Amino acid sequence: MTWCRRGLGILVSVVLLLGLPSLAWGAENPLGSGAEVIAEGHALFNKLCTVCHGVDGAPGDRGPAMAAQRRYLRQTDTELFQAIQEGIPDSEMPPMGLPEDDAWRIVAWIRSLRAKAIDVPADGDIQQGSNIFWGKGECGRCHVISGRGGLLGPDLTNLGAQMSLNRIQEAMTVEKPHPPLGYRPVTVTTKGGRTISGVSKNEHNFSLQMIGDDDRLYLFSSEEIDKIVYGEKSLMPTDYDRRLSESEFRDLLAFLSRLSLRRRESSSVEPNQTP
């Protein structure tokens, strides 16, 4: 886990960003959103702002996280720039009055933290990452990419365009307090004595719809059920930072961050390629 957090700055490689029409962010930034600009912004932030905010944009003692799962008040480059330079009235965020270019550098870095993975795809061996997905990581047992794979977890075909790199990492390393809706582990024993385990897609007092671990859909009416036992923990394993080596984890991230319908053509490996 620790290397994972610390390593984020290194893992995030920011190649090929300029000139991609799909990138709205960085458009207002006079310095653009190149890798160097972002790296400089990152260093500046850690140096200047961590009295209050946390290192690397984590939550700090006196200031909020720069990228977290919450709604941001300030969405655009300009809004962030203004917050930094002019401060936020009636709050502890002071006007920083930095040299303009430095402020823009920090803005570029904050935006990269909030970007979807496909906007800032991780560095690494993509083919190797695909091998780990379908092989050692056993991800394909529970996840579908482009029609192939298991059904217990969400479809990951468009993962890179849906989640930030940060959140993808967290999904593999940080246990959720509760299994999310639609993925609650469940074991049903029928009145006929048969036992089916899987995840509950929907349920209430009178019926239950589930995907079994045989990847089939089961539809129960409550009269048919003898017993329901729920799993406390999500089926998603969260020990991949230990289960995989550092380089394997990095390669997997490189693969996952490029899973996107929007850029399918330009990705260098077929997402559903067999190892």
* Residues that bind another protein in the complex, under the rule CB under 8 A: 144, 146-147, 151, 155, 157, 188, 190-192, 194, 196, 201-204, 206-207, 209, 211-212, 215-221, 223-225, 261
Comparison of 217 and 229: residue with beta carbon closer to another protein: 217
What token pair was written down for 134?
Answer: 């379908």
- For 242, phi then psi, to 5°, come to -100, -40
Give the integer Cα–Cα distance in Å for 251 and 232: 31
Rounded (10°) angle between helices 246-257 and 2-11: 50
HEC-encoded secondary structure of 193-262: CCEEEEEEEEECCCEEEEEECCCCEEEEEHHHEEEEEECCCCCCCCCHHHHCCHHHHHHHHHHHHCCCCC
Comparison of 168 and 211: residue with beta carbon closer to another protein: 211
Nearest approach, Cβ of residue 195 and another protein (Å): 10
Comparison of 92 and 223: residue with beta carbon closer to ligand HEC: 92
Work out whether 141 is an interface residue with ligand HEC (CB under 6 A): yes
Give the integer Cα–Cα distance in Å for 157 and 178: 24
Comparison of 81 and 133: residue with beta carbon closer to another protein: 133
Q: Which of another protein, ligand HEC, none is residue 127 near (CB under 5 to 8 Å by kind)?
A: none
Q: Which residues in 182-241 contact ligand HEC (CB under 6 A)?
A: 183, 199, 234-237, 240
Task: Supply the DSSP symbol for 122.
Answer: B
Tokens 């379908």 identify what position?
Answer: 134
Which residues contact ligand HEC (rule: CB under 6 A)? 45, 48-49, 51-53, 62-64, 72-74, 80, 83-84, 88, 91-94, 96, 106, 137-139, 141-143, 152-154, 159, 168, 171-172, 176, 179-180, 183, 199, 234-237, 240, 256
